[in-house]
Structure formats: C-alpha cells, structure tokens
Chain A
Amino acid sequence: MGIEPKNLAGWSDLLEQAVKDTLIPSMKTQEYTWDTTDIVSDPKRLAAFVALSSAGESIQVGFSGEPSDVASVVSQMFGFDDLEDAGDDYSEILDGLAEIINIVAGALHRSLSSDGNNLQLSIPLLIHGEIVIQGKEEWVAHRLTIGDNNIDAIIIRGLIQKQKD
C-alpha cells in the first residue's frame, strides 16, 4: 500500500495540523501564518529532519531556520531562558529543534497509524548548513511565522544531503 497520503498537499495539511496540536500551544503568541515558500539554502541555517517510512517509501519532514529564530522557538517550547544567549554554540538549539520535529512528526505518526499506516519514524538528522535537494525529489515548504519568528516547515519525498557542517 505504501505511504499515505500520496500527494504532498495532503502532507502539508497533516503537518500544519500536527504543528497546531503540538508546537503552537507552547508559544507565547499562538497566532501563526503558514505560507508556501522556497527552501532557503544558507550555510548559517539550522535544520532537523525525520523520515517517516513505510514499505520502501519515505517522506522526510523537517524544520529549518535562522539560529536566532530557532533559539527563540526552542526556548518557548521548552521553557528555558538561557538558550537565546548561547552565542555560536548551536548544539543545544539543534538538539531542541530535533526534539520539536520529533514531537511534531510523532503526532503525524500517531494520526497516520490510526488510519492503518504502518510507519517507522527515524532518528532526527541535524543540519547546520545548506540543504541540497537533488533535482528529481518532490518537495514543498511552508514558512511558519509565529510572532517575530520564522521557521520553515519542509516536506520532501526522497533524499536530503548535508552539504556543509
């Protein structure tokens, strides 16, 4: 049967719902926008992806953002005030971003499993650098704006490469 839904628009709707259910309630401002965008490939950005796989097919979902935006969102999500002053040490912020995508994808996983999909959820892949999409992969990206913070939610059917650490 493979992985459902078959189209990325369906995945976008499911991902937005999972974001609404898990991430948004922890934010200081719970109003958000979710607009289609391009994938920003910038060596300074941070990203975390997980793969949802079934019967040889795989969908990768992830978040990407500027370190300051990621730090702010992670701080709000986990209630720590000291993350935004971490300077150039992004290890804990990336750790937090990985945990957020794990939580959001976990909600997706539960929702899809209850519909009869047998999905495996991978360990997060962390990226400090450019995201490179190989030409043939299908993808869609949405800019999630919560208050002053922008985080891009990305869905890819196919592989991701780490270009630069």
Chain B
Amino acid sequence: MLGNVLIVDDSGLSRRMVKKCVTSTGLEASEYLEAADGAEALDTLKSTSVDLLITDLNMPNVDGYALVDGIEFGTPMAPRFVVVISSTASETVAEELISKGVSAVVCKPISPDSLKSVFEGLDLIE
C-alpha cells in the first residue's frame, strides 16, 4: 500500500474528482491530503511524508510550475512520485517538467482509465 497522497488544486471540486479517479484505479493509500495551491503543498511536504503528489499547473498564488521548482527532488522530503494534471501542458512543457523530476504529465480532462495507465507505468498498481 502507498503512503500519503497529496492532491493539489485550487478547485475543491477538482480535488474531489481527482480523489475519486485515483481511488477508482484501485490504488490504495494511507491517507488523502489536500492543498489549494503550491504554497500549501510545500508546507505540507515540510511536515508530512508524501508518496504521491498530484498537482494542477494553473493555480493562483504559487502555481504548479513553482511547486515543482520548490520540491527538492532526491531528498527525503520529496514525494516519491509527482504527477502533473494540466489542461495546457504541451509536449515541450511536459518534457521540461519531467526533466525536473516529475514522474508523469496527464492531460485534462482526466478519467480513471487515464490515471490507471499512468499508475501502471509507475508500478503503483498492477
């Protein structure tokens, strides 16, 4: 079973939908945590171990790009997996995010099937 999953999106409805899609894939996690922007997410990472972080890109205050830049990949504080969900990420942006340490970039609208194939690729589910 995976540890904590942190869902980052300024829209409460989107966070609900992402959680619903994630649980529909069969992924089992200790706890689902939420953050409304990158700043809240980075605060959570300082105090809580997170195995999987799922974030939107287009958010007010600290957006998804700044969140990715703020994660110290390779350190114990960093999530094991970071999945970016975005309506805008082009192939070039996706490649740039992955070069920074992001595990996968998924295009909106997401579905349980699109997340399932990502999680299978990351060996999070069989």
A22-B109 in contact given A78-B13, A92-B13 (Cβ < 8 Å): yes
Question: What does the 1/0 interface line of B61-93 toward A look like (CB < 8 Å)?
Answer: 000000000000000000000000011111000
A103-B109 in contact given A78-B13, A79-B20, A123-B58 (Cβ < 8 Å): yes
Interface size class of A (residues with CB under 8 A): 20 to 34
Tell which of A79, A98, A106, A113 touches B108, judged by Cβ atoms closer than 8 Å: A106
**A79 and B21 alpha carbons, distance in the complex (Å):** 10
B35 smallest CB distance to A (angstroms): 16
Question: What does the 1/0 interface line of A8-52 toward B look like (CB < 8 Å)?
Answer: 000000000000001000100000000000000000000000000
Interface size class of B (residues with CB under 8 A): 10 to 19
Q: Which residues of B contact A109 (CB under 8 A)?
A: 87-88
Question: Do A103 and B108 touch across chains, with their CB atoms under 8 A apart?
Answer: yes
B100 within 8 A of A: no
Task: State the main secondary structure of chain B at its contact with A.
Answer: loop
A19 smallest CB distance to B (angstroms): 12
**A121 and B60 alpha carbons, distance in the complex (Å):** 12
Question: Do A103 and B87 touch across chains, with their CB atoms under 8 A apart?
Answer: yes
Q: Which residues of B contact A84 (CB under 8 A)?
A: none
Question: Which among B16, B59, B88 has the highest number of chain A CB atoms within 10 Å?
Answer: B88
**A114 and B123 alpha carbons, distance in the complex (Å):** 32
Tell which of B10, B13, B59, B88 touches A110, judged by Cβ atoms closer than 8 Å: B88
Name 16 A/B residue pairs within 8 A (Cβ), A-sorted.
Answer: A78-B17, A80-B13, A80-B17, A92-B12, A95-B13, A95-B14, A96-B11, A98-B11, A102-B87, A103-B108, A103-B109, A106-B58, A107-B87, A110-B88, A110-B90, A121-B58
